[in-house]
Amino acid sequence: VSGGNASSAESYTGTERILAFSDGVFAIAITLLVLDLVPPRVEHGVVDKLLEAWPNYLSYALSFFIIGILWASHHQMFTQIKRSNHVFLLINIVFLMWVAALPFPTALLAEGLSHYDAVGRQAVVAIYTGMFLVGALLFNLEWWYAIYRGRLLGEGADPEAVKRTTRSYYIGPVAYLADLALSFVSIEASLVLFFLLALFYAVVPIPVVYRTIAGRTGIRKNRIIKD
């Protein structure tokens, strides 16, 4: 009966435009990556030049794949989030700001590993892994805001599935924090762990991972209740 209620009714909207806008930003950020691949400007020894540039192709493929996986994770998050409000919009904008900025630390890493001195190389690896720590925290923040007291969930949301997803999302910040710390010990080890994490997120959708881990460690309660 209060103005506040009228305001809530107004400010909770669907997620269609957020998804359309987010898909656009992901699609553009991912497609701009090709601008870093340019043909060698030589006449002779082209094949050698092309073979030497293998880190560039690897960087393109890896960055494309990582942004693609992020898009898929965002996609998956919105199978449970069905409404939106102004604060959620803002959090999503900050998350997209992070997505759209990814080409910069990626280019910095490529430049750094080829041309920077030891201090610079350590710095770019720390920046790169730190960037993903920030992204994992933003991703969790977006999710936490949406599920707090079921704020933005769909009507038929399963509380156990939501809890499971929440716990599975903890993996990201913990893993990237470890990777950032590792970068101060060995940049090679840090990069290997980073690649393994990308592979992990690619191969296994998060809820399945959690369920498998939970199953092995005996925390099967959720599944049983669910069944």
Q: Work out the number of other CB atoms within 10 angstroms of the CB of residue 178.
A: 15
Q: Which of 59, 77, 81, 111 binds a second copy (CB under 8 A)?
A: 111
- Nearest distance, CB of residue 109 and a second copy, angstroms: 9
Residue 124 is a binding residue for a second copy (CB under 8 A): yes
| Alpha carbon 86 to chain centroid, angstroms | 22
Cβ closer to a second copy: 100 or 178?
100
* Contacting a second copy within 50-109 (CB under 8 A): 50, 60-61, 64-65, 68-69, 71-72, 75, 79, 86, 89-90, 93-94, 96-97, 100-101, 103-104, 107-108
| Amino acid type, 177 | L
Residue 169: both structure tokens together: 């999302």
Q: Are 99 and 134 a contacting pair, CB within 8 Å?
A: no
Q: Which residues contact 181 (CB under 8 A, 6 or more apart)?
A: none
Q: Compare residues 128 and 194 and give the one whose CB is closer to a second copy.
A: 128
What's the closest the beta carbon of residue 184 comes to a second copy, in angstroms? 14
Q: CA-CA distances (angstroms) from residue 110 to 48, 99, 121, 128? A: 19, 18, 10, 10
Taking CB under 8 A as the rule, which mask of x and - marks residues 25-44 in contact with a second copy? xxxxxxxxxxx-xxxxxxxx
Judge whether 133 and 177 are in contact, CB under 8 Å.
yes
Q: How far is the CB of 120 from a second copy (least distance, A)?
A: 3
DSSP string computed for 159-209: HHHHHHHHHHHTHHHHHHHHHHHHHTT-HHHHHHHHHHHHHHHHHS-HHHH
Contact letters for a second copy, residues 204-223 (x by CB under 8 A): -x-xx--x-----------x
Please list every residue from 153 through 192 that binds a second copy, using CB under 8 A.
161
Choosing from 6, 189, 196, 213, the residue that interacts with a second copy (CB under 8 A) is 6
